[in-house]
Amino acid sequence: MAQHSTHPGGASRVCRRALVGTAVLAVLVALAGLTAYLTRDGRIPSDAPAPPPSSPAASSSPTAPAGPHALSVPPKTQDPIKYGKAAAAALWSYDTRAYSQPELRKALRGWLTKESKYADPASVDKVVPSPVLWNEMAANGQFATAKVNEGHFPHAFTQALQADPGAITEAYVYAVTVSGKQSIAWKGSPAGGAESRSTTLAVQCRPDRPCALVGVMPSVAP
What's the whole-number mean pLDDT along residues 182-197? Answer: 86
Q: Is 126 within a domain?
A: yes
Whether 58 is in a domain gets the answer: no
> What's the half-sphere exposure (Cβ side, CA atoms, 13 Å) at 172?
15
Task: Check whether 61 has a pLDDT greater than 50.
Answer: no
Q: Would residue 37 count as lying in a domain? A: yes
- 28 in helix, strand or coil? helix
Task: With respect to residue 65, please indicate whether it lies within any of the assigned structural domains.
Answer: no
Query: Which CA distances in Å does 104 have to 19, 130, 159, 184?
Result: 27, 11, 36, 16
| DSSP run (H or E) holding 189 | strand 189-204
The mean pLDDT value for 72-89 works out to 97
Question: How far is Cα 75 from Cα 180, in angstroms, rounded to an integer?
Answer: 19
pLDDT of 82-118, one tens digit each?
999 999 999 999 999 999 999 999 999 999 999 999 9
Q: How far is CA 157 from CA 27, 202, 218, in A?
A: 7, 11, 16
Residue 178: φ, ψ to 5°? -125, 140
Residues β-bridged to residue 201: 176, 216
Decide which of 57 and 157 is more confident. 157
3-class SS of residue 116: coil
Q: Compute the distance between CA of residue 165 and CA of residue 186 in angstroms, rounded to an integer.
A: 47
Q: Categorize the per-residue pLDDT at 40 as very low, low, confident or very high, splitting at 50, 70 and 90.
A: very low
Classify residue 32 by its DSSP letter.
T
- First CA to last CA distance, the chain: 26
Q: List the beta bridge partners of residue 174.
A: 203
pLDDT at position 207 over 90: yes
Cα angle 75-80-84, degrees, rounded to a multiple of 5: 65
pTM: 0.73
Please count the structural domains in the chain. 1
Higher pLDDT, 19 or 203: 203
Segment 192-213 mean pLDDT: 94
What whole-number distance in Å separates Cα of residue 108 and Cα of residue 91? 7
What domain range includes position 177? 8-50+72-216
- In-domain check, residue 89: yes
Q: For residue range 152-181, what is the model confidence (pLDDT) as tens digits?
A: 999 988 988 888 888 888 899 999 999 999
Q: Is the pLDDT of residue 39 over 70?
A: no
Task: Say which residue, 163 or 123, is predicted with more confidence.
Answer: 123
Share of the chain above pLDDT 90, in %: 56
Q: Averaged over 208-220, what is the pLDDT?
A: 94
- Residue 55 counted as domain residue: no
The residue-averaged pLDDT of 180-207 equals: 90
- How high is the pLDDT of residue 66? 56
- Please name every residue paired with 193 in a beta bridge, in sequence order, or none if there are none: 184
Distance CA 169, CA 140 (A): 47
- The mean predicted confidence, pLDDT, of the chain is 77
Query: If pLDDT is split at 50, 70 and 90, which confidence band does 67 have?
Result: low
State the CB neighbour count (10 A cutoff) for residue 64.
Answer: 8
